[in-house]
Amino acid sequence: MENLFNLFVRSIFIDNMIFAYFLGMCSYLAVSKTVKTSVGLGIAVTFVLLVTAPVNWLVDTYLLKPGALAWLSADLADLDLSYLSFMIFIAVIAAIVQLVEMVVEKFSPTLYNALGIFLPLIAVNCAILGVALFVQEREYTSIAEVTVYAGGSGIGWFLAIASLAAIREKITYSHIPKPLRGLGISFIITGLMAIAFMSFMGIKI
Partner 1 sequence: MSDNNKTKEREPMFSAKVLRLLKNPFNLENPITVQVLGICSALAVTVQMKPAIVMALSVTIVTAFSNLIISSLRDTIPSRIRIIVQLVVVAALVIIVDQLLKAYVYDVSKKLSVFVGLIITNCILMGRLEAYAMANKPWPSFVDGIGNGLGYGMILVIVAFFRELLGSGKIYGMRVIPQSFYDSGYMDNGMMILPPMALITIGVIIWVQRSKTPELQEK
Partner 2 sequence: MEHSNKYIFIYSIVMVVVIAVSLTVVAVQLKPAQEDNIRIEKMQNILSSVNVSTADIPKKKVIDIYHRYITSVVGINHSGDVVENDAEKVFAIELANEFKKPADQQILPVYTASLDNGDTAYIMPLRGKGLWGPVWGYISFKTDFNTIVGTMFDHKGETPGLGAEINQSWFMDPFKGKTIFDQEGKFTSIQIIKGGAPDDNPHGVDAISGGTITSKGVEKMIFDNLTNYQAYINKQKKQ
Binding site for partner 1 (CB under 8 A): 19-26, 29-30, 83-87, 89-91, 94, 124-130, 133-134, 136-137, 177-188, 190-192, 194-195, 198
Helix residue ranges, H only, 108-182:
109-115, 119-122, 126-137, 143-171
Among 28, 57, 118, 134, the residue binding partner 2 under the rule CB under 8 A is: 134
Are 42 and 158 spatial neighbours (Cβ–Cβ below 8 Å)?
A: yes
Q: Which stretch binds partner 2 (CB under 8 A): 47-55, 103-111, 130-138, 164-172?
A: 130-138
Q: Which stretch binds partner 2 (CB under 8 A): 8-16, 57-65, 112-120, 186-194?
A: 8-16
**Closest to partner 2 by CB, 75 or 173:** 75
Taking alpha carbons only, the member of 99, 67, 97 closest to residue 81 is: 67
Binding status of residue 1 toward partner 2 by CB under 8 A: no
Q: Judged by CB, which is closer to partner 1: 61, or 82?
A: 82
User: For residues 61-80, which are near partner 2 according to CB under 8 A?
Assistant: 67
In this chain, which of 26, 30, 72, 84 binds partner 2, going by CB under 8 A?
84
**Nearest residue to 45 via CA among 123, 105, 144, 137:** 123
Amino acid at 3: N
Return the H-helix or E-strand segment holding 101: helix 85-107
Distant-in-sequence, close-in-space partners of 165: CB < 8 Å, separation ≥ 6? 32, 33, 34, 35, 37, 38, 39
Q: Tell the smallest beta-carbon distance from residue 162 to partner 2 (Å).
A: 25
**41, 161 in Cβ contact below 8 A?**
yes
The single residue among 74, 107, 110, 139 that binds partner 2, judged by CB under 8 A, is 139
Least Å distance, CB 22 to partner 2, is 14
How far is Cα 27 from Cα 24, in angstroms, rounded to an integer? 6
User: Residue 6 Cβ, how far from partner 2 at the closest point, in Å?
Assistant: 7
Does residue 135 contact residue 56 with C-beta atoms inside 8 Å? yes
Binding residues for partner 2 (CB under 8 A) = 6, 10, 14-15, 67, 83-84, 87, 134, 137-140, 201-202, 204
